[in-house]
Amino acid sequence: MFYTYLGRIRFEDSSGASSDFESSAYGMSAVGQMAFSPWLTAFAKAGIARWDSNLEGNLDDGTRFELEGHKGTNPVYGFGAQFDFSPFLLRTEYEYYDVDSDYRVDTFTASAGFRF
């Protein structure tokens, strides 16, 4: 199970209009792993994500607008690698969220951990 904040995107133009698009998602993924060595493991995952997005902003005439609660359920895919330098871990991951067929969100993360 997972929850992720997909971020906020700001759009602006020269006329003074602007909008902010913000999304988050939660869901479930199945993960398959393959160890290439004692210190390197690759993985791939596929699952489903329930996403929620909000759009708000100002038109060029100063009118404020807000569209809340645009939601959907779509697939999520990913792959990555984990490097085990016990007791330290390094992990990189790419994920692709297919959000509403109108746009997609690609994420790349890197993290470090300590096993105790």
pTM recorded for the entire structure: 0.73
Assigned token pair, 30: 């199945």
DSSP for 4-68, written as a single string: EEEEEEEEE-TTS-EEEEEEEEEEEEEEEEEEEETTEEEEEEEEEEEEEEEEEEE-TTS-EEEEE
What does the pLDDT average to over 71-79?
A: 91
Q: How many CA atoms lie within 13 A of 17 on its CB side?
A: 7
For position 108, what pLDDT does the model report?
93
Instruction: Please calculate the CA angle 24-29-32 and round it to the nearest 5 degrees.
Output: 140
Sequence-ordered list of residues with C-beta below 8 angstroms from that of 74, at least 6 positions apart, any chain? 48, 49, 51, 97, 98, 99, 100, 101
Query: Half-sphere exposure of 5 toward its Cβ, with a 13 Å CA cutoff?
Result: 4
pLDDT digits (tens, 9 = 90+) for 82-96: 999 999 999 999 999
Question: In the structure, what pLDDT confidence band is assigned to residue 102 with cuts at 50, 70 and 90?
Answer: low
